Structures are given as structure tokens and as C-alpha cells.
Amino acid sequence: MIQSQGYTIGPVQPPSLTDSGQLLDFMAALKHQAASLGWIYGPGSDGIVRSLDAKLTAAKASAASGDGKAAINQLNAFINELQAQRGKTISDNAFYLLQPNAQFIISKLGS
């Protein structure tokens, strides 16, 4: 009998639906989880992880200073990088975990 062990990530409620800093921290935690699972992989993946981190850090700083438009722009850059790296260093699992969550945060920042 062949046994396999997997890891499933399911929907969980973020810590706060109104605190953009907490939402962005949650997003960073999801990204780190995807990387630790090998969903961000291959040559150059460390650089991709750092680049995604930089975009989330910039978005958090912009949101904290009250510049929601800049935070949204940084999150759109995050999504653009996910799309550009999908299938290269970012698996579909990582993409479908991170992209909808980033879109959700954008919707919260825009409201």
C-alpha cells in the first residue's frame, strides 16, 4: 500500500477585516507559508520571495501613512509579479492562494 502525506491550506478568517496592517501581515504569512511548502521554488526563488516581501512591506507602510492609493498600487505590483512568475517560480497553488487574498485586501483598501 502506498501512503502519501500532504498539506492542505484552507480558507481561514484573517485577524481583522478592517485593519489593513493586520491584513497585510496575514498576506505576508501566507506568502511565507507558500514558500516553505515549496510552492515558490527553483533558481531565483529567494529573490522572488524578497521582491514579494518588499511589495507587501511598501504596501503596509503606505497604508499606515494613510496613502491607500499607493498601497493598492503596491498590491497590484505584487499581483503582477505573481502572474509573471506563475509556472516559472510560483506554482498554481501559490498563485491561487496569494492572488485572491491580495485582491481582497485591495477591495478593503479601496472602500
Give per-residue pLDDT as tens, 90-107.
999 999 999 999 999 999
pLDDT of residue 19: 84
Model confidence at 9: pLDDT above 80:
no
Give per-residue pLDDT as tens, 17-60.
678 889 999 999 999 999 999 999 999 999 999 999 999 999 99
Domain boundaries defined on the chain: 20-109
**Contact in structure between 37 and 7 (CB atoms under 8 Å):** yes
pLDDT of residue 16: 59
Cell numbers placing 6: 500532504
Provide the whole-model pTM.
0.85
Cα gap 70→76, rounded to integer Å: 10
Model confidence at 11: pLDDT above 60:
no
Q: Classify domain 20-109 by CATH architecture.
A: Up-down Bundle (1.20)
Helix, strand, coil % in the chain, rounded to nearest 5: 65, 5, 30
Percent above pLDDT 90 for the chain: 77
